[in-house]
Amino acid sequence: MRGIRNLISLTYAQKLSLVAAIPLIAAVAAIALVVAYESRATAESEIQALERRLIEAKKEELRNYVTQARNGFAYIYGRASPDDEVAKSLVAQILSAMIYGKDGFFFVYDYDGNNLVSPRQTEFINRNWADLTDSDGTPIVNEFISLARQGAGWHSFMWQKPSTGEEAQMIAYVVGLQDWRWLVGTGVFIDDIVATVANARAEVEARVQRTFLYIGGIVLAAVLIVFASGMLLNFRERRLADAKLKELTQRVLDAQEEERGRVARELHDGISQILVGVRYALDNARRRLDLRDDAAAQAPLQTGIDNLATAITEVRRISRDLRPGVLDDLGLGPALKALTDDFRERTGIETEFSTVVFRNRLDQDSKIALYRIAQEALTNIERHAGATHVTIDLRGHKKGATMRITDNGRGLRSEPGHVSTGIGLRNMQERIEQLDGTLRILSSRGGRSGTVIEVSLPLSHMLPPQEDPTPKRKAGI
């Protein structure tokens, strides 16, 4: 079962292509159904109109046949009395001789249903067919009589073709000879019309099926194009992602090496030299003590003690730069305050820090990110800005938290609002993007020079006081 699930499981690219293809397929299917429905409806309307025209033509033809036949015996019928058997016999002979085509003939029934004339089907003559119906149960002779009593009319029914013996649809037209209580009529088979209509419907259905095939082919081609485009896009994005991952990995390694180099330089240039001075001072004091010159040994001992205190201070500073303990113990506000105080003492640049303690606190990742951004910003100001005044402001608001760092230095060389590609500013950007925050850098050069770094975090990184992961003492943000 697990193997089947693994077999039918989709990759991200396949899911993306499927999501893109489903609306396309649904839309094209809907269009195809609408086109098929409209095509069938339009074609059916045209076929029905054609059928009506053909049937009307047949009816008109039947009317002409009956009119011509009646004109042929009108001189006899007009002069005869209702019981003139000789005249009736002459008219029956005239109508018996009127046959046309393969199946055309005239028939005569009296109003009682007796057949008097049927030249192509003589077995009907002199028999009563009043209750005759076709294979569908449609009454025939009784309907003829009803139409004849009304004067004239058309009737459609199934009838056996004299030429083939097969049953087919017939339309008949009858007129009544009221004086003789006769009905005279003729009929025409419309199987050719039925076949024409059936062929037209079959052709329409074939066209609709071809349309479906064309649309299906277009949809298949579109889906394949979407799938191929998705694959190419996914392949390209994967290559870009791999390249970015390699670049990011290299930058992490470079940052690690840079940090190691910085720590090594500080240890070598600072701690190492101080400890060497302590060693020389202690060695000098030891030699003087060996000479029993206690008074002379006091000065080098004091120098060694002072240098050792300086080394301890440097070790604490390096440790604080690597990971400030006050950030975990007291929170972000005190940690930034200690950072600005140390920056002011070390550089002599006037530095101010202000904050407002607000009810919700930042989560641990946000604290570290803001502290590192502030640390990076102060380092850049010290190295590049040439500023004399720096302010850091940290505040919470209804949308989250914002830290604003402002200096009056020479500004950036890039355009206002554009983040530089330097590794320091790039590190700031990446840190804040990982927290779904925003980083804005506004810089100007000239008379109103300076740089403003504004970092904003969303409200999702604000925690209630009881959820503070390190509630040790009363702390700031």
pLDDT of residue 322: 65
**Which residue ranges make up each domain of the chain?**
80-189, 248-310, 324-467
CA distance 90 to 109: 15
pLDDT of residue 473: 45
Q: 3-state SS of 269-290? A: HHHHHHHHHHHHHHHHHHHHHH
| Burial class of residue 107 (count of CB atoms within 10 Å of its CB; 0-12, 13-18, 19+) | buried
Q: Which amino acid, one-letter code, is at 30?
A: A
pLDDT of residue 106: 93
Residue with tokens 């693994």: 6
pLDDT of residue 475: 44
- CA distances in angstroms from 11 to 2, 111, 239, 448, 466, listed in the order given: 16, 84, 16, 55, 42
CA distance 38 to 326: 77
| Burial class of residue 361 (count of CB atoms within 10 Å of its CB; 0-12, 13-18, 19+) | buried
CA distance 415 to 92: 113
Half-sphere exposure of 419 (CA within 13 A, CB side): 16
pLDDT of residue 110: 94
pLDDT of residue 108: 95
pLDDT of residue 413: 64
Q: Fold identical between 80-189 and 324-467?
A: no
| Burial class of residue 205 (count of CB atoms within 10 Å of its CB; 0-12, 13-18, 19+) | middle
Give me the architecture of the 324-467 domain, per CATH.
2-Layer Sandwich (3.30)
Kindly report the CA angle at 309 between 267 and 328, in degrees rounded to 5?
A: 70
Q: For residues 431 and 369, is the Cβ–Cβ distance under 8 A?
A: yes
pLDDT of residue 326: 65
Cross-strand bridge partners of residue 155:
172
pLDDT of residue 384: 79
Looking only at the bridges linking them, the beta strands covering 350-355 and 389-397 are parallel
CATH number of 80-189: 3.30.450.20
pLDDT of the chain, 477 residues: tens digit per residue: 555 555 455 666 566 666 767 777 788 778 878 887 888 888 888 888 888 888 888 889 888 989 888 898 988 988 889 999 999 999 999 999 988 888 899 999 999 999 999 999 899 999 999 999 999 999 999 999 999 999 999 999 999 988 888 899 999 999 999 999 999 999 998 888 888 888 888 888 888 888 878 888 887 887 788 777 777 877 787 788 888 888 777 776 766 677 677 677 767 666 777 777 777 778 877 777 777 777 777 787 788 788 778 778 777 667 666 666 666 667 778 888 888 888 888 888 888 888 876 554 677 777 888 888 888 888 888 887 788 888 998 887 777 888 888 888 877 765 544 445 456 777 788 778 888 888 888 876 655 578 888 888 887 666 655 544 444 444 445
